[in-house]
Amino acid sequence: MTRTRWFELSRIGGTGLVTLLYWRHVVPEWVLMIAVVVGLYPLVKAGLLSLVQQHKLGTELFVSLATVIALLTGETIAGAVIMVIILIAEFIAEINTDRARASIKEMIGTVPLTATLVENGQHRLVPILELQPGNIVLVRAGEKVPVDGVIFEGAASVNEAPITGESIPRDKSRGDQVFAGTVLENGAIDVRTEKVGGDTTFARIVRLVEEAKEHQAPIQKLTDKVAAWLIPIVLLFLAGVYLLTRDARLIVTLLIFTSPAELGLATPLVMISAIARAAREGIMVKGGIYLESLAKVDVIVFDKTGTLTTGKPQVTAVIPTEGTDLALLLRQAGAADMRSSHPLALAVVNHVMQLGIAIPEASEFQTLQGRGVRAVVEGEIVLLGTAKLLEENGIAAPPVQGAENKTFVYVASGGRALGVLHFADRIRPEAREVLAQLKATGVKRLVMLTGDNASTAHAVAAEVGIDEIHADLLPDGKVDAIRALQAQGHRVAMVGDGINDAPALAAAEVGVAMGAGGTQAAIEAADVALMADDLSKILVARTIARRAYRTIKENLFFGIGVVHVAGITAALLGWIGPVAAALLHLGPDVLVFVNSVKLIRIRL
Q: What is the reported pLDDT for 110? A: 60
Structural domain harbouring 383: 311-426
DSSP labels, 259-287:
--HHHHHTTHHHHHHHHHHHHHTTEEE--
Q: What is the reported pLDDT for 99? A: 61
Q: Is residue 98 part of a domain?
A: yes
Rounded mean pLDDT of 335-362?
Answer: 89
Residues 6+ apart with CB under 8 A from 37: none
Q: Is residue 541 part of a domain?
A: no
Rounded mean pLDDT of 185-199?
Answer: 87
Q: What is the reported pLDDT for 406? A: 65
The answer on pLDDT for 260 being more than 80 is no
Q: What is the reported pLDDT for 48? A: 82
Domain end position, chosen among 197, 228, 254: 197
- Biggest CA–CA distance in the chain, Å, is 112
Q: Is residue 477 part of a domain?
A: no
The answer on pLDDT for 490 being more than 80 is yes
Query: Catalytic positions, please?
Result: 303
The answer on pLDDT for 198 being more than 90 is no
Q: Are residues 60 and 19 in the same domain?
A: yes
Q: Band the pLDDT of 96: cuts 50, 70, 90.
A: low
The answer on pLDDT for 604 being more than 60 is yes
427 φ/ψ sector (left φ>0, alpha ψ -120 to 50, else beta):
beta
Domain end position, chosen among 401, 426, 451: 426
CB 450, CB 467: distance < 8 Å: no
The answer on pLDDT for 403 being more than 60 is no
Q: Is residue 401 part of a domain?
A: yes
d(CA 32, CA 37): 9
3-state SS of 126-146 is: EEHHHCCCCCEEEEECCCECC
Q: What is the reported pLDDT for 58? A: 62
Q: Band the pLDDT of 218: cuts 50, 70, 90.
A: low
Q: Is residue 172 part of a domain?
A: yes
| Most confident by average pLDDT, 40-54, 195-209, 388-402 | 388-402
Rounded mean pLDDT of 413-428?
Answer: 89
Q: What is the reported pLDDT for 443? A: 94
Q: Are residues 350 and 221 in the same domain?
A: no
Q: Are residues 93 and 127 in the same domain?
A: no
d(CA 414, CA 395): 10
Q: What is the reported pLDDT for 383? A: 94
Q: What is the reported pLDDT for 266? A: 65
Q: Are residues 101 and 213 in the same domain?
A: yes
The answer on pLDDT for 114 being more than 90 is no
The answer on pLDDT for 108 being more than 60 is no
Query: Whole-number mean pLDDT of the chain?
Result: 82
Domain end position, chosen among 426, 455, 482: 426
Q: Band the pLDDT of 328: cuts 50, 70, 90.
A: very high
Q: Which of 585, 563, 588 is nearest to 83 (CA)?
A: 585
The amino acid occupying position 235 is L
Segment 21-71, tens digit of pLDDT: 988 889 998 998 998 888 888 888 877 887 777 666 666 776 777 788 878
Q: Is residue 529 part of a domain?
A: no
Q: Is residue 441 part of a domain?
A: no
The answer on pLDDT for 212 being more than 90 is no
Identify the residue with better confidence: 453 or 165: 453
Q: What is the reported pLDDT for 524? A: 67
Q: Are residues 98 and 219 in the same domain?
A: yes
Q: What is the reported pLDDT for 226? A: 59
Segment 572-591, tens digit of pLDDT: 998 988 878 877 776 666 77
The answer on pLDDT for 556 being more than 80 is no
The answer on pLDDT for 316 being more than 90 is no
Identify the residue with better confidence: 291 or 335: 335
Least confident interval from 40-54, 323-337, 410-424, 541-555: 40-54
d(CA 240, CA 237): 5
Q: What is the reported pLDDT for 517? A: 58
* Residue 153, domain CATH: 2.70.150.10
Q: What is the reported pLDDT for 22? A: 87
Strands in 173-298 per DSSP E: 177-178, 183-195, 283-285
Structure pTM? Answer: 0.69
Q: Are residues 190 and 221 in the same domain?
A: no
Least confident interval from 114-118, 156-160, 203-207: 203-207
DSSP state of 342: S
Q: Band the pLDDT of 355: cuts 50, 70, 90.
A: very high
Q: Are residues 405 and 361 in the same domain?
A: yes
The answer on pLDDT for 560 being more than 70 is no
Segment 494-507, tens digit of pLDDT: 998 755 677 888 88
Rounded mean pLDDT of 450-457?
Answer: 79
Q: Are residues 82 and 157 in the same domain?
A: no
d(CA 268, CA 287): 11
Least confident interval from 59-63, 230-234, 281-285, 355-359: 59-63
Q: What is the reported pLDDT for 333? A: 94
DSSP state of 599: G
Q: Is residue 305 part of a domain?
A: no
Q: What is the reported pLDDT for 151? A: 92
Q: What is the reported pLDDT for 431? A: 92
Q: Which of 206, 204, 216 is nearest to 269 (CA)?
A: 216
CA distance to 336, 364, 413, per residue, from 379 (Å): 12, 10, 10
Q: Which of 357, 345, 473 is nearest to 409 (CA)?
A: 345
Give the H/E segment covering residue 16.
helix 3-23
Q: What is the reported pLDDT for 529? A: 84
Q: What is the reported pLDDT for 54? A: 66
Q: What is the reported pLDDT for 111? A: 67
In the chain, the number of structural domains is 3
The answer on pLDDT for 163 being more than 80 is no
- Burial class of residue 599 (count of CB atoms within 10 Å of its CB; 0-12, 13-18, 19+): buried
Q: Are residues 339 and 223 in the same domain?
A: no
The rounded radius of gyration (Å) of the Cα atoms in the chain is 32
Q: What is the reported pLDDT for 369? A: 73
How many residues make up the chain in this entry? 604
Q: Are residues 101 and 119 in the same domain?
A: no
| Most confident by average pLDDT, 245-249, 406-410, 483-487 | 483-487
* Residue 332, domain CATH: 3.40.1110.10
The answer on pLDDT for 228 being more than 70 is no
The answer on pLDDT for 559 being more than 60 is yes
Q: Are residues 193 and 321 in the same domain?
A: no
Q: Band the pLDDT of 284: cuts 50, 70, 90.
A: confident
Q: Which of 213, 218, 194, 5 is nearest to 93 (CA)?
A: 5
Least confident interval from 125-139, 224-238, 438-452, 547-561: 224-238
CB 218, CB 251: distance < 8 Å: no
The answer on pLDDT for 352 being more than 90 is yes
Q: Are residues 171 and 259 in the same domain?
A: no
